[in-house]
Amino acid sequence: MKITINGKEVEAIEGQTVLQASIANGVYIPHLCYHEKVGAAGKCRACVVEIEGMRGLQTSCSVPVRDGMVVNTVSQSALNAQKLVIDLMLSSGTHDCLACEQNGNCELQDAAYFLGIERASVQYGEINREFDTTSEFVYVERNKCISCGRCVAACNTTVVNQVLDFGHRGHHTEIVFDTDKKMGESSCVQCGECSQICPVGAIVDKNARGKGRPWELKKVESVCPYCGVGCKLELHVDPRTNKIVKVRGVEDAPTNKGMLCVKGRYGFDFVGHPDRLTTPLIKENGQFREASWEEAVELVASKLTEVKDKYGADSIMGMASAKVTNEENYTFQKLIRTGIGTNNVDHCARL
């Protein structure tokens, strides 16, 4: 169907909202509470536009497109309202971007930049809750929270861990973990979905803080090595040290839609760990020594043959790893079944 946005006729698809159609056509409208995964909430009111034939301002995140619709995203009253929202958000928190982890990757900052807001016009806010650093992997700074509700929705309906919620009301509304526990003392499983979905710097990955600006880090797509789900992830690598600084889920991955578990998101320190094996080791006289792959495989093969000859094939069992791919697991069971000749084969993910 055709709709008109800011005087220009563009293509829109049945089922899209005005916001989705605008973005698809390269027209940015500030939006902070909407996220594809949690849907429209109508909370932030940053996305308001004017639509011909509809009374007052409309939230573009919630209104579906109709053929022939005429939308104005930059009318005076829409812009005034958008600016007021961003201005009030900046006013009501401590948005000192210089020190903020989210700087350069912040949706509030983007909106302020787009609307030409250099600094908040009012500074009456004074919320002063200390930072919550009790969680192993997640850092919470409520002073930067804009109450968009994405984390609450995500924790409850996307990952269904049901930890986060809103407490209190009005200006004093804030996110709470269970009955306002410290995050580290709550029932949180540290999946980090809230950090992934937070548009600002209110919930961030704790161990990545200060380790590099978003624009400095190289983004490398990969697959989580931990289990068979095979979540797609994006490694943020510091090119100077070649170290992984943080991991984010890939939002458009069909496997995981940006979600990760605590291991996939935060358990990456093994990658560069000094204890990690980089070459096979063979134990001789109670001591390990380095060996080549040829030598190691040769040794294992001969030992297994020895055991099989002496005690029979069923005295051997194969245990596969969840960290390898489906194809590798297939090959492995083939090896055990036909190479060794036993059905004693299982997989760690079933244990």
Partner 1 sequence: MLEQKIMDRIQKLKDRYPRKESALMPALMLAQKANGNYLSEDDMNEIAKFVGVTSGKAYGVATYYTMYNTKKVGKYHIQIDTNIPATLMGAVKVLDFVKKELGINAGETTKDGLFTLDEVECLASCGTCPVIQVNDVYYENMTAEKTKALLDSLKKGVMPKPEEPVYFGGTECNVLLKNRRVKNSTSIEVYKKNGGYKALEKALTMEPAAILNEVKTSAIRGRGGAGFPAGVKWGFLAKGTGKPIYLVCNADEGEPGTFKDRQIMEYDPHLLIEGMIISAKAIGSKLGFIYIRGEFDWIADILDKAVEEAKADKKMGDFDIIVHRGAGAYVCGEETALIESIEGKRGQPRMKPPFPAVAGLYGCPTIVNNVETLASVPFIIEKGADEFKKFGYENNTGFKLFGVSGCVNKPGVYEYPMGIPFKKLLEAAGGPKGKLKAVIVGGLSVPILKADELEGLNMDYDACIKKGTMLGSGGVMVINEEFSIPEIAYRTIKFYAHESCGKCTPCKEGSYTIVKILGKLLKGQATQADLDNMVRIIGSVNEAGSTLCPTGQAFAMPIKAMYEKFNDEFKKLLK
Task: Give the interface with partner 1 as residue ranges (CB under 8 A).
Answer: 40-46, 48, 55-59, 62, 77, 80-81, 84-85, 88-89, 91-92, 121-122, 124-125, 146-147, 156, 162-173, 176-180, 187
65 binds, among ligand SF4, partner 1, ligand FES, none (CB under 5 to 8 A by kind): none
How far apart CA 1 and CA 16 sit, in angstroms, is 11
Name residues contacting ligand SF4, limited to 87-106 (CB under 6 A).
Answer: 95-97, 100, 102-103, 106
Are the C-beta atoms of 40 and 16 separated by less than 8 Å?
no
43 binds ligand FES (CB under 6 A): yes
Q: Which is nearer to ligand SF4, 31 or 150 (CB)?
A: 150
Over the window 3 to 42, marking each residue x when it contacts ligand FES by CB under 6 A and - when it does not, the resulting string is: ----------------------------xxxx-------x
| 6 contact partners, CB below 8 Å, separation of at least 6 | 27, 71, 72, 73, 74
Q: Report the residue from 20, 109, 212, 231 that binds ligand SF4 according to the rule CB under 6 A.
A: 109
Are the C-beta atoms of 193 and 158 separated by less than 8 Å?
yes
Give the three-class secondary structure for 232: strand
Region near ligand FES per CB under 6 A, out of 43-51, 127-135, 189-197, 229-237: 43-51
Could you identify the residue written with the tokens 């170290």? Answer: 243
How far apart CA 274 and CA 292 sit, in angstroms, is 19
Could you identify the residue written with the tokens 């996220």? Answer: 35
Count of Cβ atoms closer than 10 Å to residue 32 Cβ? 26
The helix or strand, by DSSP H or E, that contains position 45, with its residue range, turns out to be none
Q: What is the CA radius of gyration of the chain?
A: 26
Give, in order, the Cα–Cα distances in Å from 71 to each of 3, 30, 31: 8, 15, 16
Site size for ligand SF4 (CB under 6 A):
39
56 binds, among ligand SF4, partner 1, ligand FES, none (CB under 5 to 8 A by kind): partner 1
Give, in order, the Cα–Cα distances in Å from 160 to each of 13, 118, 135, 178, 276: 31, 38, 19, 13, 34
Angle at 296 between CA 291 and CA 301, to 5 degrees: 165
34 binds, among ligand SF4, partner 1, ligand FES, none (CB under 5 to 8 A by kind): ligand FES
138 binds, among partner 1, ligand FES, ligand SF4, none (CB under 5 to 8 A by kind): ligand SF4
Over the window 132 to 151, marking each residue x when it contacts ligand SF4 by CB under 6 A and - when it does not, the resulting string is: ------x-----xxxxxxxx
Are the C-beta atoms of 293 and 282 separated by less than 8 Å?
no
Over the window 53 to 92, marking each residue x when it contacts ligand FES by CB under 6 A and - when it does not, the resulting string is: ------x-x-------------------------------
Question: By the criterion CB under 6 A, which residues form the site for ligand FES?
Answer: 31-34, 42-47, 59, 61
Question: By the criterion CB under 6 A, which residues form the site for ligand SF4?
Answer: 95-97, 100, 102-103, 106, 108-109, 138, 144-151, 154-155, 159, 161, 163-164, 175, 188-194, 197-203
